[in-house]
Amino acid sequence: MLGTASDRGHSAMKRVTWDLLVPAIEKSQSLTDLIALADEESKLAGRIVAQEGPVFTIVTRERTVTATVSGKLAYASRAGTDVAPAVGDWVLLAGDNSWQVEVVWPRQTVFERKEAGLRTRAQVLCSNLDVAVIVTTAPPVVAIGDDPIAEQSLRDFSVRRVERFIATLDAAVRPIVVLNKADLITDVTRVERSVEAELPGATVIALSALSGDGTDRLSKELLPGETAVLVGSSGSGKSTLIGRLTGEPILTNAVRAFDGRGVHTTTTRIMYALDSGALIVDTPGVREVQLWTTDGDDDRRLDRTFPEIALRGADCRFRDCTHGVEPGCAVREAVRSGEITQDRYLSYLQLRDERDTIALRREKQDRLTQRRTSRRAKRVRGGRGA
């Protein structure tokens, strides 16, 4: 069993078992080292498959257990010297009947955003993922019969918000954009091509989670041994889609008659197993998407989100061209000629500036943290000397 985080409304779903995790271990020397360390220290190694509040469900070779975070790791994560566990993490556990997460093993990839609000902190949605399935509705440009209820139900779509989702992903994570509620539009092929043109580099699939049409195309994109995360705003149909992919419906409330939206909201993060051998994580609806900065990967994230700008940027006169006011900017010339759309160019500038602002705030916050830590250490040393 997955434990407390998965027992509420998910009891029929296919469980993640150790044999489904073995392929990832066999391909990774790092994970092999984790298993060896656990054996050497008589501890458990496993992967977090669910989280509900402070309680984590972890699949290990020996059994599935629930655990909380050790006091030492909790203190270190608050101080910024270590990371807090998240669904998808590989961890080292200590204990007996009461287990605690002692170590979060180094992550290969992470899906994180700036925490909502004013605080400059990261919120990790999922780790060690290969694919991000970004769920939104199909655009309402060709709603069936100009039905006002259908158009209302399709208002979740925003290409700028999808760009933000893609820009938050590690460059190694493959983005798939799902245009849900395709049963409410008249020309699916036209809609897919239109969105593909606006999101070069992303795989775009129009489907209907309600009827099941098109879900087989998504299933084929989720390969055995891969971990995918499902993200999107509340009401986009993520939980219904999870039910389609796993073959077991999530317990949801009725669809609202006035706009066609389901009123179920996922409140925990849970990893499910698919028949193909792929794993998929369902997450709560995300209302706000703010970028986060990761050392060494920020430029690659933007380049993957805006490949046409990265391509033309290689032809700029200056290697450090910001595509703003510098002479000889190939990107601005491509915008003038229509090769790059004005909307994409402005979105790129906005996301880059937002990222740079967050980076500066992080640097300032890190300096303050270091000074506080240094003062605390001096007080401790002074107390011992007394």
100/117 same-domain check: no
3-state secondary structure of 349: helix
Residue 386: inside a domain: no
**Which of 106, 133, 155 is where one domain is finished?**
106
**Which of 90, 106, 122 is where one domain is finished?**
106
Q: Judge contact between 236 and 180, C-beta under 8 A.
A: yes
207/244 same-domain check: yes
The CATH code of the domain that includes 193 is 3.40.50.300
130/262 same-domain check: yes
Supply the pLDDT for residue 7.
43
186/81 same-domain check: no
172/243 same-domain check: yes
127/210 same-domain check: yes
Beta-strand relationship, 174-180 and 203-206: parallel
Supply the pLDDT for residue 380.
61
CA distance 366 to 350: 24
3-state secondary structure of 261: coil
Supply the pLDDT for residue 385.
56
Residue 299: inside a domain: no
Per-residue pLDDT of the chain (386 residues; tens, 9 = 90+): 334 444 433 444 578 999 999 999 999 999 999 999 999 999 999 999 999 989 999 999 999 999 999 999 998 888 777 889 999 999 999 987 789 999 999 999 988 876 655 565 667 889 999 999 999 988 866 544 455 544 555 567 888 889 988 988 888 999 999 999 888 888 888 899 999 989 988 999 999 999 999 999 999 999 999 999 999 877 778 888 988 998 876 554 434 332 334 434 445 789 999 988 999 999 887 766 666 666 556 678 888 889 999 999 999 999 889 998 899 999 999 999 999 999 999 999 998 888 888 777 767 766 776 676 667 666 666 665 55
124/162 same-domain check: yes
211/146 same-domain check: yes
Supply the pLDDT for residue 204.
96
24/60 same-domain check: yes
Structural domain containing residue 22: 4-106
Residue 291: inside a domain: no
The CATH code of the domain that includes 65 is 2.40.50.140
Residue 296: inside a domain: no
Residue 287: inside a domain: no
CA distance 299 to 315: 17
- Phi and psi, residue 82, nearest 5°: -155, 175
The CATH code of the domain that includes 347 is 1.10.40.50
Give the pair of three-digit tokens for residue 130. Answer: 């290969």
Beta-strand relationship, 279-282 and 227-232: parallel
Residue 290: inside a domain: no
336/239 same-domain check: no
CA distance 299 to 293: 10
Q: At 133, which helix (H) or strand (E)?
A: strand 131-137
Residue 29: inside a domain: yes
Supply the pLDDT for residue 327.
93
Residues 6 or more apart whose Cβ sits within 8 Å of residue 362: 120, 293
**Which of 83, 106, 129 is where one domain is finished?**
106
Residue 191: inside a domain: yes
Q: Judge contact between 262 and 237, C-beta under 8 A.
A: yes
CA distance 128 to 34: 15
Within the chain, residue ranges assigned H as helices are: 18-26, 29-40, 71-79, 148-153, 159-168, 188-198, 215-221, 238-246, 298-305, 307-313, 330-337, 342-385
227/310 same-domain check: no
Number of domains in the chain: 3
313/357 same-domain check: yes
Supply the pLDDT for residue 3.
40
As a whole number of Å, the CA-based R_g of the chain is 23
